[in-house]
Structure 1
Amino acid sequence: MKRSAFSFLLHGFQIFHCHPLLGFDPIYYLSRRCTIQRLYSLGSINTRPFPDYSPKKPAIKDTEFVHHISTTIKQRRSEPLRRILKPYELKFKPDHLIWVLMYIKNDYKLVLDFFNWARLRRDPTLEALCIVVQIAVASKDLKMAHKLIHEFWAKPNLDVNSSFAHFTERLIYTYKDWGADPHVFDLFFQVLVEAGMLVEAGKLFDKLLNYGVLVTVDSCNLFLTRLSNNFDGIKMALKVFNEYPEVGVFWNTTSYNIILHSLCQLGKIKEAHSLLTQMELRGHMPDVVSYSTVISGYCQVGQLERVLKLIEEMQRKGLNPNQYTYNNIILLLCKSGKVAEAEKVLREMTIQGIFPDNVVYTTLISGFCKSGRISAAYKFFDEMRNKKIFPDFVTYTAMLHGFCETGKMDEAHKLFNEMISRGLEADEVTYSALIDGYCKAGEMKEAFSLHNQMVKMVLTPNVVTYTSLVDGLCKRGEVDIANELLHQMAAKGLQPNVYTYNTIINGLCKIGNIVQAVKLMEEMELAGLYPDTITYTTLMDAYCKIGEMAKAHGLLQVMLNKGLQPTVVTFNVLMNGFCMSGMLEDGERLLKWMLEKGIMPNTTTFNSLMKQYCIRNNMSATTQIYKGMRAQGVMPDSNTYNILIKGHCKVRNMKEAWYLHKEMVEKGFSLSATSYNALIKGFYKRKKFAEARQLFEEMRRQGFAAEKEIYDIFLDVNYQEGNLDITLELCDEAIEKCLVGELQKGNTS
């Protein structure tokens, strides 16, 4: 038969890509297959008929032998085959199997029984296997057919290339006369995909097109799913999705959901969203999975507004979010620090009849702990247990970490014991969190005890563990011991990281040993670790505190030369240094430079300048800085208000001081003890006795100690008014808070 131009093209392609030296490129083949499909759709290839089955003819003696077996198993079908066929075993050959099947093919149960008997004696031929598969499919026993095909492809040391060609050929050859049910090819396609033989599945798809057979959409969906298991496969899945319809594959909602997931995996969330909107136009209604997939994609990239809009759209279409959707939204909100909103979603989820699981509760607990809201986190922890949702190792660790971060070590200790009593084993992360908590609380004995316990449990302390211990020792001023621990850590093969070095440098700076701190920074570089912004900022702060502003400024220049970006903390350190050294003009120049460079100062930056101008009684300059701060959109904090109030009181501008006091209270800020003292003295000197008395009573309710001068004022006032009980009460309070306090300070110094 004359070959078409297309057959030559295909033949040449197969020769080139199956060459043993060149190897076979599956992605290229799958791409070329899409070209083949287009040719089919354009009518360039005509479908061919399935071949007639013409088996090998049996000899006369074989015919008689087969007849005897067939008659025997039909007549004595209630008896075990192993018994009734015992006389025939020695003479039974593979060809006999097919010839017997011809006699009994309409009796499916007998076919299976006889086939199983035969293959226990010797392996059936590929042709016989395909015949039984065809009969099983024709008898609607797809499960058995699938099992038989799978068993063939699960054989060890199978030559895939030759086996695929032979199996496909035999399945096509036996099709017309033994079953003629196209589901047989669908099952073969599925088995190939399940076995990860995606290239062979693609070849089968093409081969079947020759015979006008199209694989079902469910099988194609399986193909899309398996293709999507890796990055290159996802690209091919997208190509298949776009081009299969050209040969008649009609995708369904499941198909779209697979592709939506693939696009999200590639980070193409906008494209996924666009496809979601196109589904309905293409005649496919998006379901909960469709929306949840795109919502999950937007959650991964933190686009909360898009998520909320999609949820509204879902609900307008009568679709309620499922647990997967809610889980993703709660995770995104917690990552964004919007834990209150995450809790609302949890409650909404419950109202919808979807009950949160361990994962949701753990996400919320972790989110609330990271936001510092430990009580709320523990409320969820209790809620879990009350609902018989048992916290796992991750849940306990999140809660422990929260207690440790907020210094609630008694609660952490109790929870740790509870975790162990429930049979949950702590790992390095759990122990490190506890050790860090004890170190931050200054309880180094407990921290080292846990370290020793960890070692006994055959758990290896890591860099984080040792860094916490080093930090705790440094905060106690035990820098030499910390340095020794650093060397022990290195001896165990653990390489200190930048944070470890920064911890010791900070400790050295706190005890005034800046020379050793600088030396350690040089050692960092020799060890291949480069000082970061925190390293330089720590040293700059140390220089600023001893008034070495030139050295501090020099370190800033070194940072910039090395390409390190200073943070606002770095500039605040410099600003504080300039202000403490009385170099306010330099401080103002630094502020101006920051604004010119687009580095936004924070409240601390402005507070440093305002404080020093207040000390100098220059309230005009202070007010200008405050106005500039507000103009930049930087909001005042509690410290800002206290600085301004004390400054205005000092220059007896009580009207402005009282206005600022009212404003800060409205914003939820509290006066400091020194601000109360300043306001009370200021009002008293201006003969505003009612205001002074009101503030004094308020100060006492807050638990603050007034200055001795203020106690003297109100002792006299109450004595003169005849309030002897209050006078005596104030005497006792003054003795306790002023005289005893002064004595304690003296003993400490």
Structure 2
Amino acid sequence: MYLKEGRSLLLKVQKPSVPFVLSTNPIFDFQGPHHEQNEPGTPSVEESQVIDRLRNEKDSLVALDFFKSVANSASFKHTPSTYGLMIEKLGRIGEIDGVQYLLQHMKLEGIRCSEDVFVSVIKSYSVAGAAKQALKMFYRIGEFGCSPTVRIYNHLLDALLSEDSFHSITPTYGNMKKDGLEPNVYTYNILLKALCKNNSLGGAHRLLEEMSNKGCEPDNASYTTIVSFLCKYGKINEARDLVSYFIPTVPVYNALINGYCRAGRMREALELLGEMAERRISPNVITYSSILNGLSDTGNIYLSLAILGKMFAHGCNPNTHTFTSLIKGLSSKGRFGEAFDVLCRMQNDGILPNEVTYNTLMHGLCLSGNMKEAVFVLDKMEKNGCIPNVRSFSILIDGFAKSGDLVGASEVWNKMISIGCCPNVVAYTCMIDVLCRNSMFNQAYNIVETMASNKCFPSTITFNVFIKGLCDKGRVDWAVELFDEMEKYGCVPNVITYNEMLDGLFKANKSSRAFELVSDMEDRGIKFNLVTYNTIIHGLCLYSKFVVAEKLFGRMVIQGVEPDAFTLNMSLYAYAKRGKVESATRLLQSFRCFGLYPDIVSYTSLISGLSEHVDLEVATTYVDRMVTEGILPNICLWNFLVRIFVSKVGYLGAVGHMDAVLAST
């Protein structure tokens, strides 16, 4: 069994620069073979003919060949309209070299650049992902006989926003106002998007006020932007309050419904659907799909099917996202037969499943351990002409990793490489996981080195998986070395990394190194989570450091980290071992404050503490209590009670006590 080597970067095919030597191109014949020769110096081609030819030519580079051919002949002299049309065609494919060349020719020929043409120039830079160059070109606008307008500024701001060039947007807007140009609603909407993307809620509110002061009323796009932003950052109630000040449209409702669905507040999302009906606003496919997705996330399949039925009843046709959401919900409940039926229904209705659809079904199958069916879905995906992406393969590799199936994971890996799909950090990490589960640590480390050499650098999650694998197999020394190597790869340990290391070190009886890591966490300002506290408290109890364990439990509660049953049982055990039976008893009583109930471990800890440090009679009352609560003593507890009774009251006394205990149970 071997893995095919995979590279993490694909060579980008560079588009060859368009040659602009205007010389030997053929002259296109517009007039036909029997057309009489025009007199010398008289143009033989009409502007309308050139415009029609340029407009109808789908291939922009072929259109450019024709443009150059005409320019090199004496039959036609290009006009502002033909230049503008050619610049627009080149701009749509991001051919900015060609656009710059044509602009220079316009300048040399003394042809002024109109607003429409300069807008096309700005758009071409945006398509090419060169917003900074668009800004530089804008500052040369006067060279081409054009003046800044609100529309040109708007397209420039939009280009800057598309590349998140927030630092350039504010000064550009300032220059717009210096030029004496009044922003319109389109300008404000771009600025609102910029502020929202830059997490500036206060700035967005101030801009809305500025709009109102300038008499520029926010439109549908303005409100949708703000509502979406508020919902994205969990300010759903604030978004709902804002919506109450105007009559919302479908996009605004969709933004608000999507926010409720993401927060799991399905009742309110459904109430909004009812509100839309009351206002005679028809939900669209986005509305229904958002609700279906939210219901699927919460596992409410029956209501999902009801919403789908309502959707059909209102004449709203589902799309790929709608059906994908339904497949997700069915898969989460293990209803794979119905999920496959939905997949078939999509194809029968002419709605093509995409990568997300197939990946969703594969993910559900892998979670349930149905790897054979998951591979079947991958094959079906390929047969239906949908090319698997790296996520498709990562899902399968992860599924095989969870079951420890190295052969299955390797076959998927090799298939991924063979079709030219380049592994990403997730795929590499999943492969490291399955290798670690099979104790193939050298091979796993080779993958880490391969990732680095292919410029696909491992993440902190990659190291967490590797460290966990090493610690689970008792290779703690190697885990420590790997932990120390993380910074070499530009990775910083997080709380999960420390938790895995602490667990491994305590289990390997390396307490000194474990406590060093605890100090390191505090020095780095990494907050302890529940797992951290549980791991450390357990380690402290293993080494009989009960005083420190008690203090750590107190710190945990003060810092607002809610304990679970493991925390309480370990803390109860620490109190009992030190003879602090009153504290242990109070802790047992406080279980219900945390929504928990004492179990066999809780009572065993308390009974052992009472027996050793207080009184056997008191201990036996807690045996009665646990039996009353339906918790039966196990063999370990019985053995302990026998030993403690014999040591305290002798054999005959122990027999009497045990008879009494047995009688009560």
Quick one: distance in 2 between partners of 1:453 and 1:514? 35
Quick one: distance in 1 between partners of 2:40 and 2:229? 60
Residue matched to 2:23: none
Residue matched to 2:515: 655
Quick one: distance in 2 between partners of 1:344 and 1:681? 49
Residue matched to 2:40: 9
Give the aligned residue type for 1:739.
Answer: D
2:499 pairs with 1:637: no
Which protein is bigger by CA-based radius of gyration?
Answer: 1
Contact 1:471 1:504 in 2 (8 A): yes
| 1:652-679 deviation per Cα after TM superposition (whole angstroms, max 9, x unaligned) | 1253143144246x34x44224x32331
Quick one: distance in 2 between partners of 1:496 and 1:512? 23
2:575 pairs with 1:714: yes
**Aligned to 2:256, which of 399, 409, 423?**
399
Residues 335-734 of structure 1 mapped to structure 2, 5 A cutoff: 338-341=197-200, 344-348=203-207, 350-351=209-210, 353-354=213-214, 356-369=218-231, 372-373=232-233, 375-386=234-245, 388=246, 390-616=247-473, 618-650=475-507, 651-653=510-512, 654-663=514-523, 666-667=525-526, 669-673=527-531, 675-684=532-541, 688-700=545-557, 701-705=560-564, 706=567, 708-715=569-576, 717=578, 719=580, 726=586, 729-730=589-590
Residues 77-88 of structure 1 mapped to structure 2, 5 A cutoff: none
Quick one: distance in 1 between partners of 2:174 and 2:51? 52
2:182 pairs with 1:325: no
Residue matched to 1:260: 118
Quick one: distance in 1 between partners of 2:374 and 2:67? 62
Quick one: distance in 2 between partners of 1:708 and 1:241? 79
| 1:197-248 deviation per Cα after TM superposition (whole angstroms, max 9, x unaligned) | xx9xx8xxxxxxxxxxxxxxxxx9xx8999699638999999799759978x
Q: 1:228 to 1:509 in 2, by over 3 A?
A: same
Contact 1:260 1:272 in 2 (8 A): no
| 1:303-326 deviation per Cα after TM superposition (whole angstroms, max 9, x unaligned) | 434334434555677877654333
Quick one: distance in 2 between partners of 1:697 and 1:622? 31
Aligned-partner SS, 1:495: coil
Residue matched to 1:136: none
Residues 119-130 of structure 1 mapped to structure 2, 5 A cutoff: none
Task: Tell me the TM-score normalised to structure 1 length.
Answer: 0.62
| 1:520-546 deviation per Cα after TM superposition (whole angstroms, max 9, x unaligned) | 332333333333323322222222222
Give the superposition deviation at 1:396: 0.9
Contact 1:715 1:730 in 2 (8 A): no
Quick one: distance in 2 between partners of 1:671 and 1:567? 29
Bigger mean CA deviation after superposition, 429-438 or 310-319 = 310-319
Quick one: distance in 1 between partners of 2:289 and 2:459? 33
Give the superposition deviation at 1:284: 7.9
Q: CA RMSD in A?
A: 4.5
Contact 1:578 1:584 in 2 (8 A): yes
Give the superposition deviation at 1:287: 5.8
For structure 2, the 5+ residue unaligned runs are 1-37, 56-65, 93-97, 603-628, 633-665
Quick one: distance in 1 between partners of 2:502 and 2:48? 87
Residue matched to 2:607: none
Bigger mean CA deviation after superposition, 419-428 or 292-301 = 292-301
Quick one: distance in 2 between partners of 1:567 and 1:744? 52
Aligned-partner SS, 2:365: helix
**Aligned to 2:159, which of 272, 292, 297?**
297
Quick one: distance in 2 between partners of 1:23 and 1:306? 37
Give the superposition deviation at 1:559: 0.7
Aligned-partner SS, 1:531: coil
Q: 1:627 to 1:261 in 2, by over 3 A?
A: same
Give the superposition deviation at 1:710: 3.0
Q: 1:437 to 1:233 in 2, by over 3 A?
A: closer
Give the aligned residue type for 1:529.
Answer: C
Quick one: distance in 2 between partners of 1:368 and 1:538? 32
Contact 1:438 1:444 in 2 (8 A): yes
Contact 2:397 2:412 in 1 (8 A): yes
Q: 1:348 to 1:620 in 2, by over 3 A?
A: farther
Q: 1:8 to 1:381 in 2, by over 3 A?
A: farther
Quick one: distance in 1 between partners of 2:73 and 2:162? 35
Bigger mean CA deviation after superposition, 299-308 or 531-540 = 299-308
Give the aligned residue type for 1:344.
Answer: G
Give the aligned residue type for 2:40.
Answer: L
Give the superposition deviation at 1:477: 1.0
Give the superposition deviation at 1:618: 4.5
Q: 1:446 to 1:588 in 2, by over 3 A?
A: same
Give the aligned residue type for 2:238.
Answer: K
Contact 1:719 1:727 in 2 (8 A): no
Quick one: distance in 1 between partners of 2:192 and 2:300? 36
Give the aligned residue type for 1:437.
Answer: G
| 1:18-63 deviation per Cα after TM superposition (whole angstroms, max 9, x unaligned) | 999x998688899989999999xxxxxxxxxxxxxxxxxxxxxxxx
Quick one: distance in 2 between partners of 1:306 and 1:281? 22
| 1:630-688 deviation per Cα after TM superposition (whole angstroms, max 9, x unaligned) | 23222333312322333344421253143144246x34x44224x32331243356565
Q: 1:306 to 1:38 in 2, by over 3 A?
A: farther
Quick one: distance in 2 between partners of 1:734 and 1:453? 42
Quick one: distance in 2 between partners of 1:233 and 1:18? 21
Q: 1:29 to 1:670 in 2, by over 3 A?
A: closer
Bigger mean CA deviation after superposition, 572-581 or 497-506 = 497-506
Contact 1:502 1:534 in 2 (8 A): yes
Q: 1:381 to 1:599 in 2, by over 3 A?
A: same
Higher RCO, 1 vs 2 (CA within 8 Å, ≥6 residues apart): 2
**Aligned to 2:139, which of 277, 281, 306?**
277
Give the superposition deviation at 1:362: 0.9
Give the aligned residue type for 2:269.
Answer: A
Quick one: distance in 1 between partners of 2:584 and 2:272? 52
| 1:239-290 deviation per Cα after TM superposition (whole angstroms, max 9, x unaligned) | 799759978x9x6xxx764443131233375665345323567898746555
Count of aligned positions? 541
Quick one: distance in 2 between partners of 1:734 and 1:317? 64
Quick one: distance in 2 between partners of 1:429 and 1:731? 46
